[in-house]
Amino acid sequence: MALGSLLPELLPGGSGRTPLIERIARWAEEKPEAPAYTFVDYSIDPAGVKITADWAETHLRARATAARLRQVAAPGDRAALLLPQTLEYMMTMLGAMYAHVVAVPLFSPDLPGHADRLIGAYTDAEPAVIVTTRNALPHVEKFLADHDVPQPKEIMFAEEVDLALADTWTDEPIDFDDLAYLQYTSGSTRRPAGVEITHGNVTANAAQLWAGWAPDRPTPELVSWLPLFHDMGLISTMALPLVNGDHAIYTDPVSFIMNPVRWLELIAERPAKNVYTAGPNFAYEYVASMVPPERIAELDLSGLTTCLNGAEPIRTSTLEMFAEALAPAGLRPGAQAPGYGLAEATVFVTAHAEDAPPRVLSVDREGLTQGELRLCEPDAERATSLVSCGGPSGQIVAIVDPDTRLEQPDGRVGEIWVHGPNCAPGYWRNSERSQDTFGGELAEAGGLPVGPWMKTGDYGVLHEGELYVTGRIKDLIIVDGRNHYPQDIEVTAQEAHPAIRPDHVAAFALTGDETERLVVVAERNRRVPLGTLDIDEVESAVRGAINVEHEMSVHEFVLIEPGGVSRTSSGKIARAATKQRFLDGALPTTQARLAFRK
């Protein structure tokens, strides 16, 4: 049975029929001095400098930015945001949405590790204008000079927009179907795809996320460090405050990585004591392992209402580790909210946002390989854990056999399909791929909409009204006719030997003569000195563990240096990209490192 239903109204009081961006003017009139967006800059002072725009200033700066953009770009032209994560980034996004200029939220070219993604996304979007800052200009100029990419008509500086231009701006009608921005997916080996996000998509998904988080407490605030060029960071930070005129406090990802306690400090100091936040699975594990217990004990996190965990596979060990580590700070057991989403649905699809600990199922791994959910005891020989991602709000989720296009009953694994006003209309200038992803139709509707359904490319299963994600279809490993989820193999590998770095393993298959052949690539754990490392011992441990746990042999095992496994912009393991580098012989192997030392 499918989950969810469509809301007749997208926002409380029927106001959802108005595009979300137009609500800035309302809040500027009703609560002009209330804080809207606060950026915390740790580059100025390690203690953090808070730079706040109230709703009156937000309205002023957005209109001025809209007027400036329209001096150099026409409606429908693209504006590439190649600037650091600051308050100016947010004002540029809002101004572009006012101006009918299609924003392309990217990042300054000096951000390490994302060069190929930036080249692909920028080239695909063909922006008419680049918005950056004076400090980032040298990096932008070098990017344009070093790569064969479209040259913009003009480079605009976000911090130099003349606020007097706001008086020259005349509001223009904004339709739900108007394109708001292009959200580029992380991609793997293929060129990044620009998801077309409309004003209707943004409006619907902000309302869905707000309803899914159930913010029934007064004066909620959002705290985030997530990148604004990523879907979860953008929607949670930009769109959520617009729903009811609330407050978002955010910093940049580098500030969080350099000192993860900053995230907790920003949450703990909020006087409203009704804080929402979000992050990928790795961030919660990072905080729990890196912040000293004595520092955590000094904080008061009792006001953290919900912390959404999404953007990558959610591990039960992380949930337990985070809950245990932050309990001394007053973290409520029900604060953690595992969720599921993707850019093609704007971002939010489901979340377990009840005031109760996340639900975890112990299931038989063999059953999953056969497409069936079989509950078992946690200590059973073939037990594996699945974390509930809750249910949807304002959209419908169904589990569908991708071959027959028939809805699957509860307990059967199939592809996750989504139908709702948050589903994007397609990919930018890619009609064939758009039809394949967004044009799904059920062979037998059975009371559900025939279409269009957005096909996520993820396998999942429904159980007692909640969604459990089992893995990516394209990553599925099929050996001797049995299906294996790579994340299960990766966990087995990382637990086989302490020399393997946790959460930095990629498992994938190569085409063989008779069946697929398993390859496991694992990063070396820095905590194990090279001088004491025995690669043969590590390989033997991994091969043995996988053989016992999954009844399959490893065709090839490769131990590589830290940082060698490819990852997407949201931190997920990029298996296809790692596989290609394996085939190209481009992985930084530890064997080569040891040989060089000799």
In the DSSP assignment, the letter for residue 408 is: P
Phi, psi of 53 (to 5 degrees): -115, 125
Average pLDDT for residues 431-449, to the nearest whole number?
Answer: 93
How does the average pLDDT of the chain come out, rounded?
90
Judged against a pLDDT cut of 70, whether residue 311 lies above it is answered with: no
Kindly report which listed range (113-117, 315-319, 331-335, 478-482) carries the lowest average pLDDT score: 478-482
Q: Which of 11-25, 129-143, 496-510, 571-585 has the highest mean pLDDT?
A: 129-143
* More reliable by pLDDT, 564 or 235: 235
pLDDT category at 442 given cuts 50, 70, 90 is: very high
In the DSSP assignment, the letter for residue 407 is: B
* More reliable by pLDDT, 587 or 127: 127
pLDDT per position as a tens digit, 195-219: 999 999 999 999 998 887 755 677 8
Residues 6+ apart with CB under 8 A from 429: 124, 194
Judged against a pLDDT cut of 60, whether residue 8 lies above it is answered with: no
Written as six digits, the tokens of 579 are: 């596989």
pLDDT per position as a tens digit, 451-470: 999 999 999 999 999 999 99
State whether residue 309 is helix, strand or coil. strand
Burial track 508-536 (b if 16+ CB lie within 10 A, e otherwise): bbeeeeeebbbbbbbbbbeebeeeebebe
Judged against a pLDDT cut of 90, whether residue 288 lies above it is answered with: yes
Written as six digits, the tokens of 10 are: 């997208």
Average pLDDT for residues 29-34, to the nearest whole number?
Answer: 97
Structure confidence at residue 116 (pLDDT) = 82
pLDDT category at 188 given cuts 50, 70, 90 is: very low
Do residues 286 and 312 touch, judged by C-beta distance below 8 A?
A: no
Average pLDDT for residues 420-430, to the nearest whole number?
Answer: 96
Structure confidence at residue 15 (pLDDT) = 45
Helix (H) or strand (E) holding 336: strand 336-341
pLDDT per position as a tens digit, 321-331: 999 999 999 99
Judged against a pLDDT cut of 60, whether residue 348 lies above it is answered with: yes
Judged against a pLDDT cut of 60, whether residue 16 lies above it is answered with: no
State whether residue 164 is helix, strand or coil. helix
Residue 339 pairs in a beta bridge with 351
> What would you measure as the largest C-alpha separation in the chain, in angstroms?
72
Show the beta-strand stretches assigned E in 85-244: 102-105, 129-132, 154-157, 179-184, 194-198, 221-224
Structure confidence at residue 9 (pLDDT) = 46
Judged against a pLDDT cut of 90, whether residue 156 lies above it is answered with: yes
Q: What is the CA radius of gyration of the chain?
A: 24
Judged against a pLDDT cut of 80, whether residue 313 lies above it is answered with: no
205: nearest Cα among 415, 309, 76, 351: 351
Return the percentage of the chain with pLDDT > 90, whole number.
65
Average pLDDT for residues 143-160, to the nearest whole number?
Answer: 96
pLDDT category at 155 given cuts 50, 70, 90 is: very high
Judged against a pLDDT cut of 50, whether residue 14 lies above it is answered with: no
How far is the C-alpha of 394 from the C-alpha of 346, rounded, in Å? 13
Number of C-alpha atoms within 13 angstroms, CB side, residue 267?
28
Judged against a pLDDT cut of 90, whether residue 153 lies above it is answered with: yes
Judged against a pLDDT cut of 60, whether residue 409 lies above it is answered with: yes
pLDDT category at 483 given cuts 50, 70, 90 is: confident
pLDDT per position as a tens digit, 509-548: 887 766 778 999 999 998 888 878 888 889 899 998 888 8
Average pLDDT for residues 491-509, to the nearest whole number?
Answer: 89
* More reliable by pLDDT, 224 or 591: 224
Judged against a pLDDT cut of 70, whether residue 557 lies above it is answered with: yes
Domains of the chain: 360-472 (2.30.38.10), 477-597 (3.30.300.30)
* More reliable by pLDDT, 110 or 11: 110
pLDDT per position as a tens digit, 220-274: 899 999 999 999 999 999 988 999 999 999 999 999 999 999 999 999 998 777 8
Structure confidence at residue 12 (pLDDT) = 39
* More reliable by pLDDT, 488 or 32: 32
Structure confidence at residue 13 (pLDDT) = 38
| Parallel, antiparallel or unpaired: strands 194-198 and 179-184 | antiparallel
Judged against a pLDDT cut of 60, whether residue 83 lies above it is answered with: yes
Structure confidence at residue 571 (pLDDT) = 67
pLDDT category at 120 given cuts 50, 70, 90 is: very high
Residue 414 pairs in a beta bridge with 460
* More reliable by pLDDT, 381 or 96: 96
How far is the C-alpha of 118 from the C-alpha of 106, rounded, in Å? 7
Q: Is 411 exposed, middle or buried (0-12, 13-18, 19+ CB in 10 A)?
A: middle
Residue 560 pairs in a beta bridge with 523, 589
Q: Is 369 left (phi over 0), alpha (psi -120 to 50) or beta?
A: alpha
